Structure 1
């Protein structure tokens, strides 16, 4: 039988690919959108990570979610530093969640409050994704908009306390393999993982509507 970390990755591959190849993300990575689109995307991340990290303290001793709560992954403070750089010190005054972002963050908060396995699904899709594919976004942002390498504006993507990302991801996948869940619960977690990617895709679609590529 395949390891759970393999099963969850394979099962959510289609949704993951759809989110990664959205029109908005393709245009952003292709350098066809301005820094305002990048900033708006960063603002949406703030709402999702606030929902994830507001729950961390309450879940740190939970048998299912607790092992995944690791301080070196926390991103909210870094997002806030980036937004202060991108929008200025009053960035909170103009912070607005898209409807898709509101739904996404609400689902994360709901899982955090009532279903640790669902929280793990969202934790996995966000943190492991940003530790991996997020580095492509960081590199593109630095080259396209002139941010200092690993500096203000892209700190969200800089996991300064993780010296060996590959080893960290292996350890994270081992935690998934050892998760305290039976087969039925594991299937529910897989389904929630797919749902997380769908939420992410919905955010990208709404961002794409806000920032259609200039003709």
Structure 2
């Protein structure tokens, strides 16, 4: 029987359980993350290649911390949701080589905001592994939902070489994102967690959004720093030129 839209929504895993709790509980944080200056600028096509490269670098360090934690995890909640198709580190390694060269591992270091984010991942991996579910939810599902659009925008606005520099956004083993996400949500709802553990996962997801906002703000701050430097140089040049004029008169 074909479902009507209302019936389909009622049957969706997103309409119940921890899936619904996470979606509802992070709605405000999600909106704040989407409206950071870097993200809005990116979608307007005004992001710069250095800023995007720095974003790729930050994401590499975050995903390396996440997926290393998943590899070591024995917690059943983490193992249940750790789909190989979602893993991003190999794709990010390709992107890092594109932006920073083949020796990027010896030259690129995490920023302060990135390090804080990664430290949190490593901390909860030891102290409370089920909270890693919040990091899976916030990053992987966001990547799947918006990845193709983000990758396309980056290629067109930054004039990237064809099929290079945006491997992170390509999920080759997931041809249809929506059914996959629905399956992921269904498995999320099947986790055997008490009410307190579920709420802590929601709280952690909000913290993850805050970490991502810091990454974007740091990128935007870097652009402001460049502008301040350029303004300082321009101002100095004007003052110097005016001084020469007065000295000549």
Aligning the two structures, in what range does the TM-score lie when normalised by the shorter sequence? over 0.9
Q: State which of 13, 27, 31 in structure 2 corresponds to 1:17.
A: 31
Structure 2 gap ranges (5+): 1-14, 232-249
Q: Which has the higher contact order (CA 8 A, sep 6+)?
A: 1
Question: In the alignment, does 2:103 pair up with 1:90?
Answer: yes
Show the counterpart of 1:211: 223
Alignment of 1:59-208 (within 5 A): 59=73, 61-148=74-161, 151-208=163-220
Show the counterpart of 1:32: 46
- How many aligned positions are there? 213
Higher share of residues assigned helix: 2
Q: Give per-residue Cα distances to partners, 1:99-128, cap 9 Å, x unaligned.
A: 111111111111122212211111110111
After TM superposition, give the deviation of residue 64 of structure 1 in Å. 1.5
Show the counterpart of 2:3: none
* Structure 2: distance between partners of 1:179 and 1:69: 13
Show the counterpart of 2:246: none
Q: Give per-residue Cα distances to partners, 1:54-107, cap 9 Å, x unaligned.
A: 122222x42121111111111011001011111211222331212111111111
8 Å Cα contact 1:33-1:211 kept in structure 2: no
RMSD value, Cα: 1.8
Could you list the structure 1 runs, at least 4 aligned residues long, displaced by more than 6 angstroms after superposition: none
* Structure 2: distance between partners of 1:113 and 1:128: 24
Question: In the alignment, does 2:69 pair up with 1:50?
Answer: no
Structure 1 gap ranges (5+): none
After TM superposition, give the deviation of residue 180 of structure 1 in Å. 1.6
After TM superposition, give the deviation of residue 139 of structure 1 in Å. 1.1
8 Å Cα contact 2:64-2:89 kept in structure 1: yes
**Bigger radius of gyration, 1 or 2?**
2
